[in-house]
């Protein structure tokens, strides 16, 4: 469900759905908290670090409340909902162990959830081309190719889908599913580039490079990654980039060759704010009001249209939280290193998710739950490496109910089935979910009749007929019932005999 919410959040905002703006991070906090409190019922070491990371950012709320008064709730919620969602999700995933087939399911849901924002963006592009005949591209990110919503957030959501698609290409067994994931990754990649928001494409490149370095010792995986990278580069250079250059009227090359970014100015502004307010900062969500002031922006909102809040999570924590922000950054880095260290068989995947999430934090804060979701995925403990699991058992990808039922009816552990053939086509099975462990000891210890288990289980000489002694009546005669029990017909007592067929 949380994987579904990651793509749905951007979709809801694209279509202006009647759902309040911060529904996704609130759902992350509620569902993860419910799982930790009522299902897991404990908090692990990494969960305690995540909880401390969230706690150290709370004191700065007093500064925001003192400055804005009644308007503080919305400002604080917008600034802290992402970090709180990250902390809650890490508290949950750091205690979860899953199998490779379940991990692939999570990846598929993540990929499918990215198809929603992709569909809206493609529909807007087609609509604009139908009515206007062309799309105007400039040196800035494009709202039309982003489905009418923020290009930064849309680019991040689509790039998360690309990450899931690439991992599915590597870990899936079926060729059909590999082809489907490949096609979706290409379409998502083209749309990410069309948004003209460079952060999404750069984050994917950084994450895949980190994944390749983590798998450098595995020659087969390393060669596979290089092959995928070579094919992707050739396809992009000879097909995708020329088409995008022609479609955008030459704006594509100008946009992605430009290294200037307004985020460097915003980050420098955050560090200056920290130098002047290093104790508790200026409060969550208050960096955009430092030049003109909160009161001026409330009276003359038109004067604050161009005032932008911080886009880099690390400098935001410095400017808005002060010294506790430094502690929060240290705790976040501790969590990142802990995720890579404890990952075990899935270490390369954990490193890639951490790299993608950290790259997004440098570019787009925690404004959508895709970033906390990717960061939390790094803490999942895999029972086996998904890449090696994809080669070990190509016939079946996940256990089914029949296997589970047969495991519960293990002949070696069941006294009733001990003498039965061990093939799948045996004639007698216990009902599903019922074994002799559910029976009483008296019933389990009863003698097994030969007609129930077949002639191979019990030899004929081991079965003796049950003898019933005749019981005399008060008159000294043996009753008719006793005679029937012993198998002897009752004697003729006299009287006329009639023919029933006469």
Q: Is the pLDDT of residue 34 over 60?
A: yes
For 182-237, the three-class secondary structure string (H helix, E strand, C coil) is HHHHHHHHHHHHHCCCHHHHHHHHHHHHHHHHHCCCCHHHHHHHHHHHHHHHHHHH
Q: Is the pLDDT of residue 444 over 90?
A: no
For 260-323, the three-class secondary structure string (H helix, E strand, C coil) is CCCHHHHHHHHHHHHHHCCCCCCCCCCHHHCCCCHHHHHHCHHHHCCCCCCCCHHHHHHHHHCH
Of 236-245, 268-277, 282-291, which gets the smallest average pLDDT?
A: 282-291
Q: Which pLDDT belongs to residue 176?
A: 93
The mean predicted confidence, pLDDT, of the chain is 79
Closest among 369, 379, 375 to 82, alpha carbons compared: 369
**Backbone φ and ψ of 407, nearest 5°:** -65, -35
Predicted confidence band of residue 359 (pLDDT cuts 50, 70, 90): very high
Q: Quote the Cα angle for 93-97-103, to 5°.
A: 85
Predicted confidence band of residue 303 (pLDDT cuts 50, 70, 90): low
Measured between alpha carbons, how far apart are the two ends of the chain, in Å?
82
**Residue ranges of the domains in the chain?**
2-253+262-390
Predicted confidence band of residue 482 (pLDDT cuts 50, 70, 90): very low
pLDDT per residue over 94-146, tens digit each? 999 999 999 999 999 999 999 999 999 999 999 988 888 888 888 888 899 99
CB 284 within 8 A of CB 60: yes
Predicted confidence band of residue 418 (pLDDT cuts 50, 70, 90): very low
Q: Which pLDDT belongs to residue 481?
A: 45
Region 415-444: what's the mean pLDDT? 42
Predicted confidence band of residue 186 (pLDDT cuts 50, 70, 90): very high
Q: Which pLDDT belongs to residue 438?
A: 46
Q: Which pLDDT belongs to residue 288?
A: 79
More confident call, 272 vs 300: 272
Other Cβ atoms within 10 Å of 411 Cβ, number: 15
């Amino acid at each position: 469900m949380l994987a579904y919410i990651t793509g749905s959040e951007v979709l809801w905002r694209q279509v202006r759905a009647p759902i309040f703006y911060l529904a996704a991070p609130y759902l992350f906090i509620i569902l993860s908290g419910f799982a930790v409190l009522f299902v897991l019922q404990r908090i692990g070491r990494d969960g305690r670090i995540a909880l401390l990371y969230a706690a150290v950012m709370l004191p700065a709320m007093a500064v925001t409340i003192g400055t804005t008064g009644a308007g503080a709730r919305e400002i604080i919620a917008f600034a802290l909902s992402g970090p709180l969602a990250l902390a809650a999700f890490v508290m949950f995933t750091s205690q979860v162990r899953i199998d490779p087939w379940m991990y692939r399911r999570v990846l598929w849901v993540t990929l499918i959830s990215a198809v929603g924002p992709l569909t809206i963006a493609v529909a807007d592009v087609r609509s604009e081309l139908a009515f206007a005949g062309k799309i105007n591209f400039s040196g800035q990110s494009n709202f039309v190719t982003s489905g009418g919503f923020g290009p930064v957030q849309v680019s991040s959501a689509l790039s998360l889908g690309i990450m899931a698609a690439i991992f599915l290409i590597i870990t899936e067994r079926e060729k059909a599913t590999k082809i489907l994931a490949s096609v979706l990754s290409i379409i998502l990649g083209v749309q990410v580039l069309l948004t003209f928001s460079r952060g999404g494409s750069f984050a994917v490149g950084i994450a895949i490079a980190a994944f390749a370095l983590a798998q450098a010792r595995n020659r087969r995986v390393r060669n596979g990654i290089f092959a995928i990278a070579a094919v992707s580069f050739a396809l992009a250079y000879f097909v995708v980039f020329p088409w995008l250059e022609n479609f955008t009227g030459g704006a594509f090359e100008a946009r992605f060759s430009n290294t200037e970014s307004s985020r460097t100015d915003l980050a420098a502004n955050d560090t200056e704010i920290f130098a002047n307010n290093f104790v508790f900062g200026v409060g969550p969500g208050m960096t955009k009001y430092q030049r003109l002031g909160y009161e001026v922006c409330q009276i003359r909102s038109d004067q604050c249209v161009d005032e932008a809040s911080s886009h880099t999570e690390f400098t935001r924590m410095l400017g808005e939280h002060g010294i506790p922000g430094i502690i929060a950054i240290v705790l976040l880095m501790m969590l990142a290193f802990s995720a890579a260290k404890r990952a075990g068989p899935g270490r390369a995947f954990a490193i890639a998710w951490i790299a993608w999430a950290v790259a997004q934090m440098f570019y787009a804060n925690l404004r959508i739950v895709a970033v906390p979701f990717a960061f939390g995925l790094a803490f999942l403990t895999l029972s086996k490496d998904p890449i090696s699991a994809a080669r070990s058992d190509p016939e079946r990808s996940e256990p089914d109910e029949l296997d589970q039922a047969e495991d519960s009816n293990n002949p070696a552990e069941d006294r009733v089935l001990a003498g039965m053939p061990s093939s799948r086509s045996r004639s007698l099975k216990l009902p599903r979910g019922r074994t002799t462990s559910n029976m009483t000891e008296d019933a389990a210890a009863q003698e097994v009749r030969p007609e129930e288990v077949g002639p191979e289980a019990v030899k004929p000489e081991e079965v003796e007929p049950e003898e019933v002694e005749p019981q005399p009546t008060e008159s000294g005669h043996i009753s008719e019932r006793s005679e029937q029990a012993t198998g002897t017909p009752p004697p003729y007592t006299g009287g006329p005999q009639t023919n029933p067929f006469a």
